[in-house]
Structure 1
Amino acid sequence: MALGKKTGGRQKGTPNKENPLKGYIRSHSMAYFEPRNRKDEKTGKEFVASDFELDMAALAADDRVAAELRLLKFHMPEMKAIDMDMTVSEAGKTIEDRLAELAGEDDE
């Protein structure tokens, strides 16, 4: 098989098949975050807010922070932990030996 040559499957540029359920879920989710005109039942004042904003405001502060942190996982890449070995393998060298090595001097 030649590298880089397409031998089967869909033609280049063919769009994915429409999925009605996926479209419904996307529109429902977008509506949850869409700001709408509302009226405060107690004061009668009008304001603009999404269902998401109202739900967040109804949460206790610690629950609101926990929800924000969970949502951030969808917007920020998660950093991976890195293991690093910090042991020194030159235990037999003195500081004079190390300085001489850095200066480029040979032990002759």
Structure 2
Amino acid sequence: MSIKSEHNADEEQILASSATNVFFELSEPATEGLKDLLSKLEPLLAGGRLSRIVDIASVAADVVDMSDAYMVEKLANVFEEVTAAAWMTGNAARVAGDRVSELKDPLP
């Protein structure tokens, strides 16, 4: 066995033992909480859906990293315009409904 492979084996043992030590150093409520979290994540892991959630979070982080003041201002303006259009449409529908309800003869 070469020195390099012995070194890699030693590193793997250290990593494995430190990972188990961290797990066992947790308090009982923390361990129970971790078990509960893993039981809830199990269906996501089995169906491969957790990777999609991670991908979505990655995309969101990338968008935050790429955003600058101009992009944020432009998105705010678009949001304001869409909100105003939705508000005006809602008001127009409400007024039209009130006018139709005031009619004495129903429309044919």
Shorter-normalised TM range: under 0.3
Q: What TM-score results when the alignment is normalised by the length of structure 2?
A: 0.24
Q: What TM-score results when the alignment is normalised by the length of structure 1?
A: 0.24
Which entry has the higher C-alpha Rg, 1 or 2? 1
- Greater relative contact order (Cα 8 A, min sep 6): structure 1 or 2? 1
Q: Point out the structure with the larger helix share.
A: 2
Q: Point out the structure with the larger strand share.
A: 1
